[in-house]
């Protein structure tokens, strides 16, 4: 009798478990469907299109296998775009991270005016980059810009950033740093709130009164997870730069500011080479995916340590 009741109890629990699983699948179904339609399906389409010679507007195409990838890696324009993106990232990311960390620590130590400075530094993030790019084109103009006038008043040569191929990438980097600093300040301020005040007090009692020593040996090590997140996000955003290139330089002068994302746009919608542009997009997705994997790996190492 007891074995029969136990079997019936197990059977009822199994039925309940299956009902719960079915209910969970029903709730997850719309989200999975939306993810498949908006993320997975477009990625699969790009992968398939990268293996064809499809051009926008044509009704026919041919499968060419890895032909687009062979063309891509043998193209000097692609290598120039990758090099420009890498140099831009190498300039923007370190400067924006360290400036934001320094500013965030200063703001965190204030009481009455903290909210004001938070708003001021967040304004570049909330502003429209396309519109602000036009303002920056005036500021960095070598003939009528205020920066050029200031340099001329000091006896220095005027610098026209977006007309000189040796300075154009630096001009874009200045705009990128200006925009990312405010974004990073918000993230670092959030990280600073997790540091107990007792740690700072203990450092003061141990004689570490110098601001830079406390920042180097106390604050920054405790902000390691936040720093990793900020660096990876900044690398992703740096590789995604497009607005400033499209508005200010169109990849020039002489390809000095041609970035990977702008090259994808040029080939896909300028030259109408959807197949070739899709191959470039696959390369872009691999790079962005690499940054994301790096973030997860470094975060796991920090968590284990």
Residue 123 scores a pLDDT above 90: no
CB burial string 109-144: b at 16+ within 10 A, e below:
eeeeeeeebbeebeebeeeebeebbeebbeebbbee
pTM of the predicted model as reported, rounded to 2 decimal places = 0.84
Topology classification of domain 69-304: MetI-like fold (1.10.3720)
In the block, which residue shows the tokens 């040996």? Answer: 217
Phi, psi (5° rounding) for residue 60? -125, 160
- pLDDT for the residue 113: 78
- pLDDT for the residue 10: 54
Closest CA to 80 of 231, 275, 236, 245: 245
- pLDDT for the residue 24: 80
Tell me which DSSP letter residue 266 carries. Answer: I
Confidence of residue 211 (pLDDT cuts 50, 70, 90): low
Decide if 188 contacts 181 (C-beta within 8 A): no
For the chain, domain boundaries: 1-49, 69-304
Confidence of residue 94 (pLDDT cuts 50, 70, 90): very high
Confidence of residue 29 (pLDDT cuts 50, 70, 90): confident
């Amino acid at each position: 009798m007891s074995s029969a009741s136990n079997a019936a109890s197990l059977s009822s629990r199994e039925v309940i478990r299956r009902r719960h699983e079915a209910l969970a699948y029903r709730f997850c179904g719309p989200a999975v469907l939306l993810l498949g339609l908006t993320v997975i399906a477009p990625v699969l389409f790009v992968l398939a299109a990268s293996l064809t010679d499809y051009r926008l507007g044509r009704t026919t195409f041919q499968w060419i296998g890895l032909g687009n990838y062979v063309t891509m890696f043998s193209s000097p324009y692609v290598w120039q775009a990758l090099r420009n993106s890498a140099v831009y990232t190498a300039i923007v990311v370190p400067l924006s991270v360290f400036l934001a960390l320094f500013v965030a620590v200063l703001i965190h130590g204030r009481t009455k005016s903290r909210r004001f400075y938070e708003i001021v530094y967040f304004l570049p993030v909330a502003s429209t980059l396309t519109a602000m790019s036009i303002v920056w084109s005036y500021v960095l103009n070598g003939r009528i810009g205020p920066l050029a006038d200031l340099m001329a008043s000091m006896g220095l040569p005027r610098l026209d950033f977006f007309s000189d191929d040796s300075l154009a990438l630096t001009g874009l980097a200045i705009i990128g740093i200006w925009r990312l600093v405010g974004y990073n300040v918000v993230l670092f301020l959030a990280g600073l709130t997790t540091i107990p005040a007792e740690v700072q007090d203990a450092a003061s009692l141990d004689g570490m009164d110098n601001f830079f020593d406390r920042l180097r040996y106390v604050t920054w090590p405790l902000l390691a997870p936040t720093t990793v997140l900020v660096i990876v996000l900044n690398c992703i955003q740096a590789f995604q730069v497009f607005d400033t290139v499209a508005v200010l330089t169109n990849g020039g002068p002489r390809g000095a500011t041609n970035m990977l994302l702008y090259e994808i746009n040029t080939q896909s919608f300028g030259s109408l080479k959807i197949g070739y542009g899709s191959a470039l997009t696959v390369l872009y997705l691999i790079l962005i995916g690499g940054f994301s994997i790096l973030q997860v790996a470094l975060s796991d190492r920090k968590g284990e340590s």
